[in-house]
Amino acid sequence: MEKQIINTTKAPAPIGPYNQAIKAGSMLFVSGQIALHPETNELVKTDIMAETHQVMQNLKNILAEAGMSFADVVKATIFITDMNTFSDINEVYGKYFTGNFPARETVQVAALPKGVNVEISVIACQ
């Protein structure tokens, strides 16, 4: 099976030795996204909802570059630094799906890259 590297300027460039996403057959594996604004390379950290919205926009743009959308997402992983913010994150996250939600887990972690509060990765399939 051949793999295809997916990158777009509409999402932040990787900050390490990885790609935004890899397409393998009909599966798309999107690397964890944080709230970096792709045009300014600045973190969006005004509040947890704005931060989550930027993360979801980054994911949306990577999915689009691969010819997919949130309707194709089958699995999501959410990493957060404070479980008390889960309801706000969940509220924003839920607005990007129109039903048939993907499988998901949410994990509280001690820290995330660049001191962000939320990171989300997804797997999509067509």
Residue range 10-40, pLDDT digits in tens: 999 998 999 999 999 999 999 999 999 999 9
Q: Residue 103: is it exposed, middle or buried by C-beta count within 10 angstroms (0-12/13-18/19+)?
A: exposed
Residue range 37-74, pLDDT digits in tens: 999 999 999 999 999 999 999 999 999 999 999 999 99
Q: Of 43-47, 97-101, 103-107, 119-123, where does mean pLDDT reach its minimum? A: 97-101
Q: What share of the chain is helix, strand, coil (3-state, %, to 5)?
A: 30, 30, 40
CATH class of 3-125: alpha beta
Every domain of the chain and the residues it spans: 3-125
